[in-house]
Amino acid sequence: MPPRPRRPRPLSVVGTSPPRLEGAAKVAGTARYVDDLEFPGLLLGRTIRSTVPRGELLGWSMGRRPRGLHVVSAADIPGRNAIALLEPDQPCLVRREIRHAAEPVLLLAHEDRDALASVAVELRERPRKAQLDVRASRSFCKEILIEKGNLSRGFARADRIVEGEYTTGHQEQLYVETQGVIAVPEKDGVTIYGSLQCPYYVQKALVELLSLPPERVRIIQVETGGGFGGKEEYPSMIAGHAALLALKSGRPVKLVYDRSEDMLATTKRHPSIVRHKTGVRRDGSLTAMQIDVLLDAGAYVTLSPVVLSRGVLHAAGPYRCEDVQILGRAAMTNTPPNGAFRGFGAPQTQFAVEVHMERIAEALGIDPLELRRRNALRPGDTTATGQRLGADCSALPCLESAVRRSRFVARRRAIEKHNAKARVSGGPLRGIGLALFFHGSGFTGAGEVKLASRAALELTPTGARILVASTEIGQGTRTILSQIVAEELGWPLSRIEVADPDTREVPDSGPTVASRTCMIVGEILRRCAQSLKRALGRMTPRQYLAKNGPLVVTEQYDRPKSMHWDDVHYRGDAYGAYGYGCDVIELEIDPVTAEVRPAEVTAVQDIGRAIHPVLAAGQIEGGTAQGIAFALAEEVVMRDGRMANAQLTNYAVPTPLDTPPMQVEILEFPYGHGPFGAKGVGEMPIDGPSPAVVNALRHAGLDIRDIPAVPERIAGLVDSMRGAAT
Amino acid sequence: MKLRINGTTFRVEAHPLERLLDVLRIQCKLTGTKEGCGEGECGACTVLLDGEPVNACLVPVAHAEGRSITTIEGLGGTEGSHPLQRSFVEQGAAQCGFCTPGMLISASVIPAGARREEIRCALAGNLCRCTGYSAVYRAVELARAKRARRRAR
Note the pLDDT tens digit of each residue in B107-141. Answer: 999 998 899 999 999 999 999 999 999 999 999 99
Partner-chain contact B124 A657, CB within 8 Å: yes
Distance CA A685, CA A217 (A): 36
- Report yes or no: B3 and B64 within 8 Å, Cβ to Cβ: yes
Give residue A723's pLDDT: 59
Do residues A87 and A235 both lie within one domain?
yes
pLDDT at residue A722 greater than cutoff 80: no
Q: Which of A35, A176, A262, A659 to mutate to test the interface with B (most CBs of B within 10 A)?
A: A176
Same domain, B53 and B101: no
Q: A647: which chain B residues are within 8 Å (Cβ-Cβ)?
A: 37, 39, 41
Chain B residue with the nearest C-alpha to that of A619 = B131
Interchain proximity A474–B130, CB inside 8 Å: yes
Does residue A570 belong to any structural domain of this protein?
Answer: no
Do B95 and A618 lie within an 8 Å CB cutoff?
yes
Asked if residue A119 is part of any domain, the answer here is: yes
Q: Report the residue of chain A nearest B43, measured CA to CA.
A: A176
Final residue belonging to a domain, choices B57, B74, B91:
B74
- CB atoms B94 and A24 under 8 Å: no
- Say how many domains are in chain A: 3
Is B38's CB within 8 Å of A177's CB? no
**pLDDT tens across A94-105, in order?**
999 999 999 999
CB-CB neighbors (< 8 A) of B123 in chain A = 656
Domain identity same for B45 and B95: no
φ/ψ of residue B44, rounded to 5: -65, -20
- Which of A524, A556, A588 terminates a domain? The answer is A556
Tell me if A223 and B97 make a contact (CB, 8 A cut-off).
yes
Say whether both B115 and B61 belong to one domain. no
The average pLDDT across A41-61 equals 98
Q: How far is A117 from chain B (nearest CA, A)?
A: 15
Nearest Cα residue to A450 out of A306, A594, A604, A596: A306
B42, B74, B106 - which closes a domain? B74
Size of interface A-B (CB pairs under 8 A): 173
Q: Do the chains contact at A27 and B94, CB–CB below 8 Å?
A: yes
User: Residue A4 pLDDT > 90, yes or no?
Assistant: no
Query: Which residues on A lie below 8 Å from B88 (Cβ)?
Result: 23, 27
Residues A548, A416, single domain; the answer is no
A499 and A544 inside one domain = yes
**% chain A with pLDDT above 70:** 98
**Cα(A158)–Cα(A692) distance, integer angstroms:** 27
Asked if B26 and B51 sit in the same domain, the reply is: yes
Tell me if A91 is assigned to some domain: yes
Residues A279 and A297 in one domain: yes
Instruction: Kindly state whether residues B49 and B115 are assigned to the same domain.
Output: no
DSSP codes of every residue in A11-46: -SSTT--PPPTTHHHHHHT---BGGG---TT-EEEE
A chain contacts of residue B116, beta-carbon cutoff 8 Å: 661
The pLDDT, as a whole number, for residue A1 is: 42
Shared-domain flag, residues A122 and A68: yes
CB-closest option in A19, A622, A648 to B130: A622
Which chain B residues are within 8 Å of A20, Cβ to Cβ?
89, 92, 94
Asked whether residue B69 falls in the same domain as residue B86, the answer is no
Same domain, A415 and A457: no
Question: Distance, in angstroms, between A246 CA and closest chain B CA?
Answer: 21
SS3 state at A617 = helix
User: Which chain B residues are Cβ-neighbours of A33 within 8 angstroms?
Assistant: 34, 98
Preceding amide of A691 cis, omega within 30: no
Asked whether residue B105 falls in the same domain as residue B141, the answer is: yes
Considering CB atoms only, which of B31, B98, B132 is closest to A225?
Answer: B98
Give A222's contacts in chain B (Cβ within 8 Å).
Answer: none
Is the Cβ–Cβ distance between B42 and B36 less than 8 Å? Answer: yes
The sheet carrying A454-459 orders its strands as A496-498, A464-467, A454-459, A552-556
Residue among A491, A547, A498, A544 nearest A522 (CA):
A498
Residues of chain A positioned with their CB less than 8 A from the CB of B73: 28-29
Residue-level pLDDT at A76 = 98
Distance from CA of A522 to the nearest CA of B (A): 19
- Closest alpha carbon within chain B to A258: B37
Last residue of a domain, one of B26, B59, B74: B74
**Chain A residues with CB inside 8 Å of B91's CB?**
614
Q: Are residues A253 and A112 in the same domain?
A: yes
- Alpha-carbon gap: B2 to the closest alpha carbon of chain A (Å): 23
How far, in Å, CA of A473 to CA of B39, rounded? 24
Query: Would you call A599 helix, strand, or coil by DSSP?
Result: strand
Q: What is the tens place of the pLDDT at every residue in A566-585?
A: 999 999 999 999 999 999 99
Pair B69, B80 in one domain: no
- Given a cut of 70, is residue A711 above it in pLDDT? yes
Same domain, B66 and B81: no
- The pLDDT-based confidence of A457 (bands split at 50, 70, 90) is very high
DSSP secondary structure, A647-684, as one string: STTTS----GGG---EEEEEE----TTSGGG----SSG
- Pairing mode, if any, of strands A454-459 and A464-467? antiparallel
In this complex, the residue of B86, B94, B129 whose CB is nearest that of residue A175 is B129
Chain B residues touching A654 at Cβ < 8 A: 132
Query: Residue A100: inside a domain, yes or no?
Result: yes
**Angstrom distance (rounded) from CA A713 to CA A481:** 44
- B69 and B90 both lie in a single domain: no
In a domain, A569, yes or no: no
CB contact under 8 A, B80 and A175: no
* A276 shares a domain with A249: no
Tell me how close the Cα of B149 comes to any Cα of chain A, in angstroms: 22
Where residue A10 falls among pLDDT bands split at 50, 70, 90? Answer: confident
- List, for residues B51-98, the tens digit of each pLDDT value: 999 999 999 999 999 999 999 999 998 889 999 999 999 999 999 999
* CATH number (domain holding residue A362): 3.30.365.10
Instruction: Tell me which of A504, A524, A556 is where a domain ends.
Output: A556
Which residues of B fall within a CB distance of 8 Å from A475? Answer: 95
- Give chain A positions within 8 Å (CB) of B25: 36
Beta carbons of A23 and B94 less than 8 Å apart: yes
CA distance B17 to chain A (A): 14
Would you tell me how many other CB atoms lie within 10 Å of the CB of residue A716? 10
What pLDDT, on the 0 to 100 scale, is given for residue A3? 45
Q: What is the pLDDT of residue A718?
A: 87
Contact at CB, A27 and B88, closer than 8 angstroms: yes
Question: A174-192 pLDDT, tens per residue?
Answer: 999 999 999 999 999 999 9
From CA A657, how far away is CA A650, in angstroms rounded?
16
| Residue A220, in any domain of the structure | yes
Residue of A16, A21, A22, A26 to mutate, testing the B interface (most B Cβ within 10 Å of its Cβ): A26
Same domain as A474, residue A402:
no
- What confidence score (pLDDT) does residue B118 get? 96
- Examine the domain organization and report whether A292 and A401 are in the same domain: yes
pLDDT at B143 over 70: yes
Counted domains in chain B = 2
Please check whether residues B86 and B145 belong to one and the same domain: yes
CB-based contact B34 A225, cutoff 8 Å: yes
If asked whether residues A67 and A97 sit together in one domain, one would say yes
The band of A2, judged by pLDDT with boundaries at 50, 70 and 90, is: very low
Q: Give A231→chain B minimum CA distance, Å.
A: 13
Asked if A176 lies within 8 A of B71 by C-beta distance, the reply is no
Would you give the end-to-end CA distance of chain A in angstroms? 59
Whether A23 and B73 lie within 8 Å, measured CB to CB: no
Which residues make Cβ contacts (< 8 Å) with residue A485, sequence separation at least 6? A457, A464, A466, A496, A525, A526, A528, A529
- List the domain range (segments joined by +) for residue B30: 2-74
Each residue's pLDDT tens digit, A258-283: 999 999 999 999 999 999 999 999 99
Read off the pLDDT of residues A626-654 as tens digits, 9 standing for 90 and up.
Answer: 999 999 999 999 999 999 999 999 999 99
Q: Do residue A543 and residue A643 come from a single domain? A: no
Q: Quote the domain boundaries for residue A411.
A: 272-382+391-441+576-725
CB atoms within 10 A of CB A277: 17
Confidence band, pLDDT 50/70/90 cuts, at residue A412: very high
The whole-number average pLDDT for the span B24-42 is: 98
> Which CATH number goes with the domain that contains B68?
3.10.20.30
Residue A149 lies in a domain: no
With pLDDT > 90 as the criterion, what percentage of chain A qualifies?
Answer: 97
Contact criterion met (CB < 8 Å) for A225 and B128: no
Hey, are the CB atoms on A27 and B97 less than 8 Å from each other?
yes
DSSP string for A104-150: EEEEEEES-HHHHHH--EEEEEEE------TTT---EEEEEEEEES-
* Burial class of B65 by CB neighbour count within 10 A (0 to 12, 13 to 18, 19+): middle
From the CA of B141, how many Å to the nearest CA of chain A? 14
Cα(A254)–Cα(A632) distance, rounded to whole angstroms?
A: 36
Q: In what order do the strands lie in the sheet with A121-127?
A: A97-98, A55-62, A121-127
- Please check the confidence at residue B147 and state whether its pLDDT lies above 80: no
Chain A neighbors of B129, CB-CB under 8 A: 173-176, 226, 228, 622, 626, 653
Average pLDDT, chain A: 96
In the predicted model, is pLDDT for residue A43 greater than 50? Answer: yes
**CA distance, residue B87 to nearest chain A CA (Å):** 10
Residue B149 has a pLDDT of 76
Work out the minimum CA distance from B153 to partner chain A, whole angstroms. 27
ipTM above 0.90, yes or no: yes
pLDDT at residue A125 greater than cutoff 90: yes
Given a cut of 70, whether residue A663 has pLDDT beyond it is yes
For residue B82, what is the nearest residue in chain A, using CA coordinates? A28
pLDDT at A9: 66
Provide the pLDDT for residue A518: 98
Q: Residue A726 has what pLDDT? A: 45
| Bridge partners, A578 (sequence order) | A440
Contact A259/B96, CB-based, under 8 Å? no
Nearest CA in chain B to A342: B130
Say if A292 falls within a structural domain.
Answer: yes
- Which residues of chain B make contact with A117, given a CB cutoff of 8 A? none
Distance from CA of A463 to the nearest CA of B (A): 24
CATH of the domain at B132: 1.10.150.120
Distance, CA of A31 to CA of A353 (rounded, Å): 42
Query: Are residues B147 and B84 located together in one domain of the fold?
Result: yes
Task: Give the model confidence (pLDDT) of A282-320 as tens digits.
Answer: 999 999 999 999 999 999 999 999 999 999 999 999 999
CB contact under 8 A, B124 and A655: yes
Alpha helix stretches (DSSP H) within A454-499: 477-489
pLDDT at residue A6 in the model: 47
